[in-house]
Structure 1
């Protein structure tokens, strides 16, 4: 099957950009189309609807644009707010390059109060996508310019829609005056390199050829949910040919699609040259259309070196390397330039500023060195400083810092199981999340793909900043006795149950290996037994805490500190259950109140006893993967252990209640639960 001419799609995209971009720079566009078309929380823009994703609005769908288009939003402000967090920024630079100099907040638009227009020119720029629509009145299927856009009510963005003027209707139900609303055509093409394109409906219905009766034939998309036909049918109004979309599904249907990807990035309004991946059919609402690649940290009190690095990041972002280089030996000038950019330097000595200037001017690592560091990087590296800080309770009273972290060592209730060695109340915390990019079809962390598989956020692939959010909240940290965990872990490694989980993980890894992934040993990606233990305990506590904290279970999230010792880091066995919000000053204290000794003991006992029972037992309690099964959990299911996607950091993988408490199994294989028999609790 032949491809669509690139010129046609370029014209469509350009026409859409000029006429329909609500935040276009052209004055004639800005006057008519600056009204917003929807809203979203910062957390959803980070994890669900970021650049390159498709956001389904009430009447059409949009795609948040790439970072190049965000620049024209920020240029309307004299000062661009950023988040200063050197530890996270270093990780972003490691992945995307040394040119990244800032973590920027989303351009938030506050609610209008009275006659104020403050914030009316802010917001996330987006493009209409898919750009092929279907009329709900007559089933006409056509590109965006064939429909009319209306959004006349400034306070009702949900009324924005595309209509088919002069719609003839079907069966005499004509609505030529106002037209009938149009909805997005659901079918798209994508590839493992992250490109996304419209489905070539005209070439599809004509089986790769042009229509013999018209150069640009009118098409119709009819739903056929009765009889033997499944899904939609495309019909040509000029020559009468028809073809069902069901033919394009599956591996057989993929052979009937274009054999070469055009390399389109709708969020960038651009095409890549030389994509060698085969396109696949995907529906607009498919869950594998967009996978965010993010990194997050909990902000810790900074060392002197980190404070210097934070100031250097600010100078680099606000003044620019060239200006710092020009006036670097004139500290007074640097102070004046920084003051003009609202950079606070009061209390800093000339030596402090000179150290920050030297940090700005220090040459970056070569690309070869950066790639070597990236190959050796482990996401656990972000958790190590947090674990180490929580191991030093002597530092907790010294919390006169700007990190937003306030933690308190809590006394242990005498009856609390001694295997839980420490309890820390996280009264206040701040979590910073940054976007690195996204992937399509295959999630990044499941297959250990090459970093260059991340879809770029800018046209040149080298962003100078990335979007980030700053969440505030509270939590509870529990630490297990490290020696007891190590002894228990050694006993688990020799069991048939662990060998079954290990074999299932290998099968899962090999079957879901991405087309662009690099070869790695699957065993290196399998978390150790202590992680399974902590992860299962975390889910049990989340379910129990949701009943007492005042927060829903979906509002609670986990952060697992579970790894064995290596030459680079000491062993860890702890978990943090927290709740954070990105659009408020914090949370209400209902979660941290559960760290009180009496409350926590009751909660832990109730969680472990509840984990010993499941309405799906004995099936759940004895679930063990065997060839050819490849699921990544054991005695765990929706009835007893699974949590919502917003709560779990591993998508409900690596869970087994048998590691937590002793459970009877149908096969008679006994596994020693870390907390023993639930009757002894």
Structure 2
């Protein structure tokens, strides 16, 4: 991760020395998607930076990931692995820009722009005191994704006669800002801002109120410091004060897809870089092109005939897509329906491991637990996860899969690629018994509990869309959703205990709809915890019934009962019922919906039997 090169005027003389880019630190490739992606704020030693836009990244040495199903959802042509750190130099490809610009010195207590401290090159120290500088703890952001320094000058001079300040650190008074941390309390009351002009000192107490800045006449500046040379945008949203290191500063919007037949064929992976040149060609044109690029020479073991056959399989599969049959479904919904149908069919292992990314087989037996309609062992699966955009202040509303104007862009111009990672592992697919599920979800008690959650979720969506012209999306909550989702959580917790997996290394993929009621539990990490080889064993007939019985037994009682089981609402936004950290909730990396839409009563019922459970 490196700072962008300084802008220079004129031309570089032949033979002149060019200052190499400064290397700031290292992040893992997965972190460039989930933690420190474009627009996020990262602390490096005593400095702070924002990850720059994709149009500044150096991807000349990165590998292309091929997943055409995901391109339909994201609207880009290809995916690129985030650049790896090169230990020999600083050309790691990921750029960063200094943010926030305001720093303070713990010795002289001055609060001003970083450059005004006259720090020596490559060191964030005060030029006068030679003490390490401290980046501003507070920033200003809005729900449209804009980000800027906190307006300290306006905060201090809120009641003065000087009027609005010229920038965040100085104004018409001509004074200099001072920051003092009293240390007498850990609250914001102990952070005091003053000015040498004589204005009364004020603390940061109250700065985090939702309307605190708006009440002072402070408006969003529309700045996007992660995008080089980006003009400020007009924005009518009220700005909010945030902690620089808070998770609310950056919420990633990640899209993912499983590699399923025929796209999981290893031949197609070899064709990925050539796909745009052959996807619409005739058989003769494809053969001519592949011979011209020496396909067989560059891919030992593969032939041109193999490649042509793979292209034809893809064309047949795409011709069978049910888009016309489901005109109201989004591209993401269609993607999930394709996976749901594929997971129910046997796809045995054939030939070389590196030429097959998807292996799915039934268990070696016919015994399935009551309430379970089908179990499939996914012995090999590959997932592509791409960073699509991000939000600030408010995380994307659960169930809102529509394109949102509040999602911030990753580049100044729409990119034709997105950063992505691939995860290979294994899993177990479980489909609920459709007849038993249909009977249970029609019962009044089941519908009443789901209706409570649905009303709360719709209220949350209406609040999120209050200032938007777009229609409020419908809530996906139903009795089926609560049952399928909660069962996935219970099995992840049980398999974590029984199989030795950390819960965070397992992940759910929910398939819920009018004609879908199942889930895939699979390894979610690319490290050693994701390759222990024990998840598939959990789906075998001799283990699944006992693990399911144990999971339901644990769910029948919670250490927080009766408060948990009798709760009228729980969780953020009140979109859970009987679910808490002692019984159902998972690490958020394991859950598709950030631990929303859960109710263990939907599966085990209430102790008095008034509310029936699906699996009791």
**TM-score bin, normalised by smaller chain:** 0.7 to 0.9
Do the aligned residues in 2 keep the contact of 1:447 with 1:517 (CA within 8 Å)? no
Shift of the 334–348 alpha-carbon distance from structure 1 to 2, 3 Å rule, reads: closer
- Secondary structure of 2:273 counterpart: helix
Moved more, 202-211 or 182-191: 202-211
Match of 2:500 among 530, 545, 550: 550
SS in 2 for 1:51: coil
* 2:320 aligned residue: none
Aligned equivalents of 1:518 and 1:341: distance in 2?
53
Q: Cα deviation per residue 1:297-325 (whole Å; 9 max; x = unaligned)?
A: 11112169x999978863366x799xx99
Q: TM-score, normalised by structure 2?
A: 0.83
Measure the CA separation in 2 of the matches of 1:396 and 1:333: 32
In the superposition, relative to structure 1, how do residues 286 and 91 fare at CA in structure 2: closer, same or farther (>3 Å)?
A: same
Unaligned residue ranges in structure 1 (runs of 5+): 1-15, 94-99, 152-159, 168-178, 360-369, 565-570, 677-681
The equivalent of 1:157 in structure 2 is none
Hey, what does 1:409 align to over in structure 2?
A: 362
Residues in 1 aligned to 2:287 and 2:33: alpha-carbon distance in whole angstroms: 39
What does residue 237 of structure 1 align with?
196
CA–CA distance in structure 1, aligned partners of residues 19 and 297 of structure 2:
31
Per-residue deviation, 1:389: 1.0
Q: Matches of 1:42 and 1:618 in 2, distance apart? A: 44
Query: 585-594 or 451-460: which moved more?
Result: 585-594
Q: Does 1:200 align with 2:151?
A: yes
Q: Does 1:482 align with 2:434?
A: yes
Residues matched between the structures, number: 586
CA contact (8 A) 1:383 1:561 kept: yes
Match of 2:521 in 1: 577
- Are 1:109 and 2:85 matched, yes or no? yes
Match of residue 218 from structure 1 = 176
Deviations 1:513-543 (A, max 9, x none): 463362225xx22322112111111111111
Q: Equivalent of 1:34, from 22, 32, 56?
A: 22
Residue pair 2:509, 2:519 contacting (<8 A) in 1 also? yes
CA distance in 2, matches of 1:130, 1:386: 43
Over 3 Å counting, the alpha-carbon distance change for 1:442 and 1:338 in structure 2 is farther
Alpha-carbon offset, residue 202 of structure 1: 2.7
| Aligned residue in 2 for 1:49 | 36
1:540 aligns with 2:528: no
Q: CA deviation at 1:486?
A: 1.5
Residue 525 of structure 1 aligns to a residue whose secondary structure is coil
1:384 corresponds to 2:337 = yes
- CA drift at 1:497: 2.4
Output the TM-score relative to the length of structure 1: 0.76
Q: Does the C-alpha gap of structure 1 residues 339 and 133 become closer, same or farther in structure 2, counting only changes over 3 Å?
A: farther
What are the residue-to-residue correspondences of 1:261-280 with 2, within 5 Å?
261-269=220-228, 270-280=230-240
Deviations 1:145-187 (A, max 9, x none): 1346679xxxxxxxx86111321xxxxxxxxxxx211121022
1:469-508 equivalence runs, <5 A: 469-492=421-444, 495-508=447-460
- In 2, Cα distance between equivalents of 1:254 and 1:537: 44
Paired residue for 1:4?
none
- Cα distance, 1:637–1:29 mapped onto 2, change above 3 Å: farther
In 2, the alpha carbon distance for the partners of 1:129 and 1:410 equals 54
Q: Is the 8 A contact 1:132 1:142 kept in 2?
A: yes
C-alpha displacement of 1:38? 2.4
Compute the displacement of 1:245 (Å). 2.5
How many Å apart are 1:474 and its aligned residue? Answer: 1.6
Q: Secondary structure at the match of 2:247?
A: coil
C-alpha separation in 2, matches of 1:661 and 1:133: 55
Alignment of 1:251-262 (within 5 A): 251-262=210-221
Residues 383-420 of structure 1, C-alpha deviations (whole Å, 9 max, x = no match): 11111112212x33557683412223113574x52322
Q: Distance in 2 between matches of 1:345 and 1:308?
A: 10
Decide whether aligned partners of structure 1 residues 354 and 226 sit closer, same or farther in structure 2, where only a CA change above 3 A counts: closer
Do the aligned residues in 2 keep the contact of 1:201 with 1:234 (CA within 8 Å)? yes
Are residues 476 and 353 of structure 1, via their aligned partners in 2, closer, same or farther at CA, if it must alter by over 3 Å? Answer: closer
Q: CA deviation at 1:468?
A: 0.7
- Which structure has greater helix proportion? 1
The C-alpha deviation readout for 1:24-59, integer Å capped at 9, x for no partner, is x99999745433x22223332212221001123332
Distance in 1 (alpha carbons) for counterparts of 2:613 and 2:424: 35
Describe the shift of the 1:240–1:18 C-alpha distance in structure 2 as closer, same or farther (beyond 3 A).
farther
1:289 Cα shift? 1.6
Contact 2:350 2:356 in 1 (8 A): no
After superposition, residues 54-203 of structure 1 pair within 5 angstroms as: 54-70=41-57, 73-75=58-60, 77=61, 80-93=62-75, 100-109=76-85, 112=87, 117=88, 120-147=90-117, 162-167=124-129, 179-203=130-154
Kept in 1, the 8 Å contact 2:106–2:134? The answer is yes
In the alignment, structure 2 segments of 5+ residues that lack a partner are: 316-322
The alpha carbon displacement at 1:138 in A equals 3.1
Aligned-partner SS, 2:590: coil
Q: How does 1:231-630 map to 2 (within 5 A)?
A: 231-239=190-198, 241-269=200-228, 270-302=230-262, 314-315=273-274, 332=288, 335-336=291-292, 347-348=303-304, 352=308, 376-377=329-330, 379-393=332-346, 395-398=347-350, 402-412=355-365, 414=367, 416-446=368-398, 448=400, 450-460=403-413, 462-492=414-444, 495-513=447-465, 515-516=467-468, 518-520=470-472, 524-564=474-514, 571-582=515-526, 587-625=531-569
In 2 relative to 1, CA 49–150 (structure 1 residues): closer, same or farther, beyond 3 Å?
Answer: farther
SS in 2 for 1:268: coil
- 1:679 is matched with which residue? none
Q: Distance in 2 between matches of 1:351 and 1:542?
A: 39
SS at match of 2:124: strand
SS in 2 for 1:383: helix
In 2: Cα distance, 1:51 partner to 1:375 partner: 32
Give distance in 1, aligned partners of 2:369 and 2:296: 57
Contact persistence 1:412–1:422 (CA under 8 A): no
Q: Secondary structure at 2:252's aligned position in 1?
A: strand
Please provide the CA RMSD for this pair: 4.0
- Cα distance 1:446–1:254, how it changes in 2: closer, same or farther (>3 A)? farther
Kindly tell me: are residues 352 and 424 of structure 1, through their superposed partners in 2, closer, same or farther at Cα, counting changes over 3 Å?
Answer: closer
1:259/1:407 CA distance change after superposition, 3 Å: same
Give how far 1:203 is off: 3.5
C-alpha distance in structure 1 between counterparts of 2:548 and 2:450, whole Å: 25
In 1, Cα distance between the equivalents of 2:65 and 2:422? Answer: 8
Change over 3 Å in CA distance of 1:399–1:653 after alignment to 2: farther
